[in-house]
Structure 1
């Protein structure tokens, strides 16, 4: 493919596909150029560094989070949909969770998400500072909730690439973790139950429970201040 047929947008789309398949460690200009049937030098013509490519790819996928309509939805419905959309997006693109820890991520789509988050909590009745804190708390919770699944994807990929038997190694690790858990009464009580079929797995609906608990807390705080307006 000649260089002049490449665009930054095409490169970013291909980078997202590569990141989804190979993770952050698998992203390099040579592999990306191969997907584009181009030369690495042609990619560099449009995007100069891997850090810049990760930033652009990360910002591009924020459009997948559907924006709730604040004119028709009450604040809590909007908050649930907005946070749930972010969680689903991070589940589809687990590399983004890791990218937050090693890259300076910013861009118009992420800014649009953050701006709408502030609008949601202002609609709930928070003042400017309160909306900042509420939006940040939910963002941090969603990001943390997606961390374990993202780490699992990364671990499985790393073990497999090293030629290791990932399934066997994971089974051995879970056996060891289970034996350790038997030493502690509350963990021991839960071993063998449906909820603990996978020792390291979170119980069903953990994300939903945590998010609704946060929103319950916000409502309680607003009620205590006498400022809540369920709009």
Structure 2
């Protein structure tokens, strides 16, 4: 059997799930910037066209990866009260993003109208509706929670990889940036958990 025939046989046994799992492994190892359909094909030992046959484009690959990340969010044992259910869902969303290197950057760059994402969003919207939110307010508050969580988590993951705390401290001047310098101690990487809870509480209080 030739090398090309062997590659074709491996490709015939592939399925989209295997491609996505492999892509997530590469994401965790090398980061989003290094991810490509060619890199996935190389890891699987097949031609790039074989990977593209399953996922069509890199953009589609990223959508399916994002949905797989959201699919890791458990939906069991949620609190009965609507507000605690919303908080718990948001916490689980953040943890799913943090479980993968560049998880937030992956999800924020896609618009995955896929089963796992739709299920999670439906559960979050439903909790807000149970809390008496009007339809529009429930929809927009859901997006506010998602955008806030994605943004803060993306910053948290970048800070962990690039030592942003030291760069910020070095750039902020007590003379030129007095207000920022005054609160600088509250912007360190150890405060992300508290900042998340504070922001989430502010969203639900003002909604």
TM-score range, shorter chain: 0.7 to 0.9
| Matched residue, 2:149 | 142
Q: CA deviation at 1:177?
A: 1.1
| Matched residue, 1:225 | none
| Matched residue, 2:191 | 203
CA–CA distance in structure 2, aligned partners of residues 98 and 48 of structure 1: 21
Kept in 1: contact 2:102–2:154 (CA 8 A)? no
Kept in 2: contact 1:15–1:57 (CA 8 A)? yes
Q: CA deviation at 1:102?
A: 4.1
| Matched residue, 2:127 | 120
CA–CA distance in structure 2, aligned partners of residues 201 and 170 of structure 1: 7
Q: CA deviation at 1:21?
A: 2.2
CA–CA distance in structure 2, aligned partners of residues 132 and 189 of structure 1: 36
Find 1:14's aligned residue among 6, 12, 22.
Answer: 22
**Which of these two proteins has the greater Rg computed from alpha carbons?**
1
Matched ranges for 1:1-231 at <5 A:
2-67=10-75, 73-100=80-107, 102-152=109-159, 156=162, 171=166, 173-174=167-168, 176-178=170-172, 180-189=173-182, 195=185, 201=189, 203=191, 205-218=194-207
The 3-state SS of whatever aligns with 1:31 is helix
CA–CA distance in structure 2, aligned partners of residues 130 and 170 of structure 1: 36
Q: CA RMSD in A?
A: 2.7
The 3-state SS of whatever aligns with 1:125 is coil
CA–CA distance in structure 1, aligned partners of residues 182 and 146 of structure 2: 33
Q: CA deviation at 1:217?
A: 2.6
TM-score, normalisation: structure 1: 0.73
TM-score, normalisation: structure 2: 0.80
Runs of 4+ that moved beyond 6 A: none
Q: CA deviation at 1:93?
A: 2.7
Kept in 2: contact 1:14–1:35 (CA 8 A)? yes
Unaligned 5+ segments in structure 1 are 157-166, 219-231
CA–CA distance in structure 2, aligned partners of residues 57 and 182 of structure 1: 46
Unaligned 5+ segments in structure 2 are 1-6
The alignment of Structure 1 onto Structure 2 pairs a total of residues equal to 198
| Matched residue, 2:4 | none
